[in-house]
Amino acid sequence: MVSEDSNSTMNTNHITSFVTEELFLEDHSMVIKCLAVIIGLISLTSCILTVIALRRTRKVPKSTKYLVTALLVFEGMFVTFSTVRKFIQEPFLNTSIHVFAMSSLQLAYTTVGMMSIERCLLFHKPMTYMRLYSERFIIKVTASVWISELGIFLCVRYAICYLRFRKHNYVTVKSQFTTLH
């Protein structure tokens, strides 16, 4: 039978092992890192070439060019951050790069959603789309959505981290206090 003291020690050790510096660190072999770099370079190159080709075409509407370019830039940022993160072993920097990668991925998802809304509005209510459509309007709306979404994403992410680490610190201090007596 497990006593109350050993049970609380087990819970403390579980929380301590969950919230450690090695939470985001991944120690991959050099072969996997090299493969990640190759895949990342192929992905990043295709993003850059697509943006260049898209910028040279004239038949694509400007709002579509803008949104697809933004999607490719966010995807390129995600691939770059995710690839670089595999080589960094310093916990704070690794975690920061992970947050930047997740933020750019979240912005890419948001951009896909905005592209879907724009296309639905175009096909289902073409007169409303033509009345509202202007390049400035699309840029203002997308920029405000990106800023607000990024703010909400980062606030929620850091609030969760704050609550988790605050809880961890309370448990650590409590366990250290009980071991002193």
Tokens 């949104």: give the residue. Answer: 67
Residues 6+ apart with CB under 8 A from 168: 15, 16, 19
Which structure tokens are listed for 25? 């660190």
Of residues 162 and 124, more confidently modeled: 124
- At 13, the pLDDT band (50, 70, 90 cuts) reads very low
Over range 14-28, report the average pLDDT.
50
Mean pLDDT (the chain) is 78
Question: What global pTM score does this model have?
Answer: 0.70
Q: Would you tell me which CATH number, out of the four given (1.20.1070.10, 3.40.50.800, 3.40.50.1820, 3.30.390.10), belongs to the domain 24-180? A: 1.20.1070.10
Task: Calculate what percentage of the chain has a pLDDT beyond 90.
Answer: 24
For residue 24, the one-letter residue type is: F
Residues 6+ apart with CB under 8 A from 80: 40, 44
